[in-house]
Amino acid sequence: MKTYPRVTLEQWRVFQAIIDKGGYAQAAQYLHRSQSAISYAMSRLQQQLGIALLKVEGRKALLTEQGQILLERSRLLTDEAVEIENFAYHLSQGREAEIKLVVDAAFPKDLLMSALSKFANQSQGTRVQLREVVLSGASDALLSDETDIVIGVQAPSGFLSDPLYEVELIAVAHTNHALHKLKHKITSADLSKHMHVVIQDSGEKEKMDIGWLSSQDRWTVSSIDSALSAIEHGLGYGWLPRYRVSEQLKQGSLKALLLEQGASYKAFLFISFAHPQNIGPATRELATIIKDVVKKNI
Partner DNA sequence: AGAAATATATCAGTTTATTTGATGATATAT
Partner DNA sequence: ATATATCATCAAATAAACTGATATATTTCT
CB of 225 to DNA, least distance (A): 48
Among 12, 15, 24, 165, the residue binding DNA under the rule CB under 7 A is 24
Q: How many CB atoms lie within 10 A of CB 110?
A: 10
Instruction: Check if the beta carbon of residue 246 is closer than 8 Å to that of residue 240.
Output: no
From the list a second copy, DNA, none, which binds 41 (C-beta under 5 to 8 Å, kind-based)? DNA
Among 55, 62, 85, 233, the residue binding a second copy under the rule CB under 8 A is 85
From the list a second copy, DNA, none, which binds 209 (C-beta under 5 to 8 Å, kind-based)? none
> Would you count residue 5 as binding a second copy (CB under 8 A)?
yes
> Would you count residue 37 as binding a second copy (CB under 8 A)?
no
Q: What is the amino acid identity at position 291?
A: K
Which listed range, 18-26, 83-91, 185-193, 219-227, lies at the site for a second copy (CB under 8 A)?
A: 83-91
Distance, in Å, from the CA atom of 242 to the CA atom of 48, rounded to the nearest integer, reads 64
Distance, in Å, from the CA atom of 213 to the CA atom of 15, rounded to the nearest integer, reads 73
Q: How many CB atoms lie within 10 A of CB 232?
A: 15
Among 20, 80, 206, 247, the residue binding a second copy under the rule CB under 8 A is 80
Q: How many CB atoms lie within 10 A of CB 81?
A: 13
Nearer to DNA by Cβ, of 63 and 279: the residue is 63
DSSP character at residue 200 = P
From the list DNA, a second copy, none, which binds 78 (C-beta under 5 to 8 Å, kind-based)? a second copy
Task: With CA atoms as reference, report the closest residue to 15 among 3, 4, 51, 2.
Answer: 51
> Would you count residue 10 as binding DNA (CB under 7 A)?
yes
> Would you count residue 146 as binding a second copy (CB under 8 A)?
no
CB of 73 to a second copy, least distance (A): 5
Distance, in Å, from the CA atom of 255 to the CA atom of 281, rounded to the nearest integer, reads 45
**Judged by CB under 7 A, how many residues of this single chain contact DNA?**
26
